[in-house]
Amino acid sequence: MPISKRKDLMYQVMENMVGMIRVVDSDNNVLYMNRSMREEFGDGTGKKCHSIFCDDGKCADCISMESVKSGMPQAKEIKFGEKMYRIIASPATDEGSAKYSIEIFYDITNQKQLEEQYRKHYEKLKGDIEFAKQIQKKTLPEDKVYWNAVRSYSSYLPSEDLSGDLFDIYKINDDIILFYIADVSGHGVRSALMTIFLRQVIRGMKAAAADPIAVLDELIKDYRDLDLDKEQFISLIYGVYNKQTRGLSLTNAGHNCMPIIIENGGSGNIRTTELEVKGMPVCSILSVANHEVITLQMEKGDRILLYTDGVTEAFNRDDRKEFGEEGLMSVIQKLGEAGGKVLADGIIKEAKEFAGGSPMDDMAVLILELL
């Protein structure tokens, strides 16, 4: 194809492009504007390139001349009237040296409006989640003495803003105290909403909550009514303590973190007993509770340690190892005499550090000291 025809073809291509194009020389003169750009800004051919946007002189950040000077493409965004544009200026060479700047203008007004809408939506969502985070934290029991029967110590670390871990302490009557720790599968908003369901069901049972099997039956029934995915489930350790008889009943609904009884034998001798309790998690495939309940006789000063699997499954990517029960027991032996709060916080701290400071799952620890 003759050179003249190639040039004519290139001209027709640029002239009919939807995108806005102009060519500027090294003296800031506009040599060419295609049809789309003329329709958008008027014909500025023969004028200085800054005459459209900067009537009083050259633009402070002139990417046209910068592209000519550096020989490299330059870009910026500008607001003109009610619209936003992104401009990309690329150098064009003439006999080996950069003499011209070819500029492509993109109308990004809609994009910027959408970005602003998304930003406002994100800020609102962020505020809502922060509010939900504070509410969720407020629903957890405080570390204090309850009804002259137990003293609680706890520590809690969501892997995201909201957690699927929950623990609670609740008095049935002057003698009977119930407690539990639960872990909803997954984490984040969905799991956090399920903790509200769990707490509502158990507290709504009132005196009937003194029967662990009745509690699991009610949870299973109400959970099935939710008609959730089969992959979703709730695991929990549920306990009932009689402060008069010091009798303790425990049941396990699929919680793979067994309760640990800590006895202080004196002289730095921390005795621990892991209690094996079996049972299926609360899920849509169960229709009735058929769970094991164990009973124990407790002593004053005994401590019951409950935790979620975010602790033992904390993963060290360098060593490709989990914190495990070995790591948990190591912390208990090291901090067991230092007090319940120190122990609870220490377990979370060491598991988090083991995972490189970024645990992949929620963590919760609840320690109950019998008074």
Tens of pLDDT, residue by residue over 307-346, are: 999 999 998 888 889 999 999 999 999 998 888 999 999 9
* CATH code for the structural domain at 141-370: 3.60.40.10
Q: Is the confidence at residue 137, as pLDDT, over 90?
A: no
Please name the residue ranges forming H helices in the chain.
3-15, 35-41, 63-70, 109-139, 189-204, 212-226, 309-312, 324-335, 340-354
CA proximity to 303, closest of 370, 245, 248? 370
Q: Which stretch of 12-16, 328-332, 366-370 has the lowest confidence by average pLDDT?
A: 12-16
* Contact yes or no for 265/299 (Cβ under 8 A): no
> What does the block give as tokens for 273?
């007993």
Burial label, 282 (beta-carbon count in 10 A; 0-12, 13-18, 19+): buried
In this prediction, residues 291-299 reach a mean pLDDT of 93
Q: Is the confidence at residue 21, as pLDDT, over 90?
A: yes
Task: Work out the end-to-end distance of the chain between its first and last CA atoms, rounded to an integer number of angstroms.
Answer: 98
Rank 68-72, 159-163, 250-254 by mean pLDDT and report only the highest: 250-254
Give pLDDT, residue 61: 81
Phi then psi for residue 98, to 5 deg, are -75, 120
CA proximity to 141, closest of 191, 177, 174? 177
Q: 25: which residues sit within 8 A by CB, 6+ positions away?
A: 31, 99, 100, 101
Tell me the pLDDT band of 96, cut-offs 50, 70 and 90.
Answer: low
Distance of CA 56 to the CA centre of its chain: 50
In this prediction, residues 246-252 reach a mean pLDDT of 96
Size of the chain, expressed as the number of residues it contains: 371
Give pLDDT, residue 266: 56
Cα–Cα distance for residue pair 26/99, rounded to 1 Å: 6
Rank 94-103, 208-217, 355-364 by mean pLDDT and report only the highest: 208-217
- Percent of the chain whose pLDDT exceeds 70: 94
Distance of CA 200 to the CA centre of its chain: 24
Question: Which DSSP symbol is given to 177?
Answer: E
In this prediction, residues 17-43 reach a mean pLDDT of 89
Q: 277: which residues sit within 8 A by CB, 6+ positions away?
A: 237, 250, 251, 252, 258, 259, 292, 293, 294
Q: Is the confidence at residue 66, as pLDDT, over 80?
A: yes
Tell me the pLDDT band of 26, cut-offs 50, 70 and 90.
Answer: confident
Give the pTM.
0.75
Cα–Cα distance for residue pair 24/277, rounded to 1 Å: 80
The CATH number of 3-107, from 3.40.50.1370, 3.40.50.2300, 1.10.10.10, 3.30.450.20, is 3.30.450.20
Tell me the pLDDT band of 255, cut-offs 50, 70 and 90.
Answer: very high
> What does the block give as tokens for 349?
């701290």
Q: Is the confidence at residue 154, as pLDDT, over 80?
A: yes
